Amino acid sequence: MLAITRPPGPRQNDLLASLSAADYNRLADALEPVPMRLGARLYEPGSQLCHAYFPGTAVVALHYVTESGASAQTTGVGCEGVVGIPLFMGGGTTSSSAVVHTAGNGWRVERHRLLQEFDRGDTLQSVLLRYTQALMTQIIQTAACYRHHSVEQQVSSWLMATLDRLREGELAMTQELLGSLLGVRRESLTQAAFRLQEQGYIRYRRGHISVTNADGLRACACECYGVVKTELQRLARGDHSA
């Protein structure tokens, strides 16, 4: 499972938890705890990134807004990942923004410190690159999913992926926020939410969505949920067998 309960601290984040003791200890004093509030924007399109964020209990959407104002999430990032990959990949800015959609905690590292450790080529480098590879899988899957799958499947996959990232508490999401993250019209989302509620998988009241039957919801999700999860787990293990 993605969500392994860990004692509070930076090692709630899977990437930080998978560093060797020596690499973690070198980075530890540079890890600054940050509250990640609902709706907070960790970075804006085109702006220079100053920190990499390692979510603990928070969940962040990498989100793109088109010229016409329509938007869509390309991937989510929670305790399994890091926000700010252009810092070590190169470029230092992105064309998307990063928005907290589930409030919680996290840790951040200033860019120079991160790069200093990354360039040593130790476990931090391989952990971050493998995570970036997993992130690419997610983006690829999102692109294919937006093309081919129904809104109901997409909502189910999104809720399941977000549930996996939660270590405590319940998933609570407004219809408005979910619509903007998935980039679907209100009517389509309402219809999909009603159908999932009729089957008893979610509770949907006054625009608020919560999950009541994760097994049922999983059966409604498209293959994308499983593909991304399997790949994330494979890469997190450092296992190279396909």
Partner 1 sequence: MHTLTSAPTPPRIVAQPAQPGVPLSDHSDAKANQLLAALPPAEWLRWVPQLEAVELPLGRVLHESGVAMTHVYFPTTAIVSLLYVMEDGASAEIAVVGREGLVGVSLFMGGESTPSRAVVQSAGQGVRLRAAALKQEFNNSSPVLHLLLRYTQALITQMAQTAVCNRHHTLDQQLCRWLLLSLDRLQGHELVMTQELIANMLGVRREGVTEAALKLQKAGLIRYARGHITALDRPGLEARSCECYAVVKKEYARLLPRRLAV
Residues forming contacts to partner 1 in the complex (CB under 8 A) are: 62, 64, 66-68, 70, 72, 74-75, 85-86, 88-91, 94-96, 119, 121, 126, 129-130, 132-137, 139-144, 146-148, 151, 183-185, 188, 223, 227, 231, 234-235, 238, 240, 242
Please, which residues bridge with residue 102 across strands?
59
Please, which residues bridge with residue 210 across strands?
203
**Smaller CB separation from partner 1, 31 or 60:** 60
**Smaller CB separation from partner 1, 91 or 169:** 91
Residue 173, token pair as written in the block: 């999401």
Q: How far is the CB of 170 from partner 1 (least distance, A)?
A: 28
Sheet bearing 32-36, strands edge to edge = 32-36, 104-110, 51-55
Q: How far is the CB of 148 from partner 1 (least distance, A)?
A: 4
Looking at residue 30, what DSSP letter applies? T
Q: How far is the CB of 206 from partner 1 (least distance, A)?
A: 26
**Smaller CB separation from partner 1, 144 or 171:** 144
b/e sequence 7-29, b meaning 16+ C-beta within 10 Å: eeebbbbbbbbbbeeebbebbee
What are phi and psi for residue 118, nearest 5 degrees? -60, -45
Report the distance separating Cα 236 and Cα 129, nearest Å.
Answer: 10
CA distance readout (Å), 237 to 19, 23, 80, 191: 12, 17, 12, 39
Looking at residue 11, what DSSP letter applies? G
